[in-house]
Amino acid sequence: MGKKGPPTAGRDVQVAVVMWAAPPPPPPPPPQLWTPWLIPLFALANTAAFAYSLYINDCPSSTSHPPSDCLFLTLRRFSFEPLYVNFLLGPSPSTLDKLGALDYYKVVVNKEKWRLMTCIWLHAGLIHLFANMLSLLFIGVRLEQEFGFVKIGILYIISGLGGSLMSCLSQREDSVGASGALFGLLGAMLSELITNWTIYDHKCAALSSLIFIIAINLAVGLLPHVDSSAHFGGFISGFLLGFVLLMRPQFGWISRKHIPPGYDIQLVKPKYKFSQYFLWFVSFILLIYG
Q: Which of 86, 83, 76, 70 is nearest to 51 (CA)?
A: 76
Residue 236, amino acid: I
What are the C-alpha distances in Å from 83 to residues 89, 223, 233, 282?
7, 18, 30, 47
Any catalytic annotation for residue 202? no
**First and final CA of the chain: distance in angstroms?**
92
**Given 179, 191, 228, 237, the catalytic residue:** 179
For residues 68 and 243, what is the distance between their CA atoms, to the nearest angstrom?
53
Find all residues with CB under 8 Å of 230, minimum gap 6, and list them: 163, 164, 166, 167, 175, 177, 179, 180, 183
Sign of CA dihedral 233, 236, 239, 245: negative
Q: Any idea what DSSP says for residue 223?
A: S
For residues 241 and 155, what is the distance between their CA atoms, to the nearest angstrom?
7
Cβ 251 vs Cβ 270: under 8 Å: yes
**Given 92, 175, 228, 231, the catalytic residue:** 231
Any catalytic annotation for residue 123? no
Which positions are catalytic? 179, 231
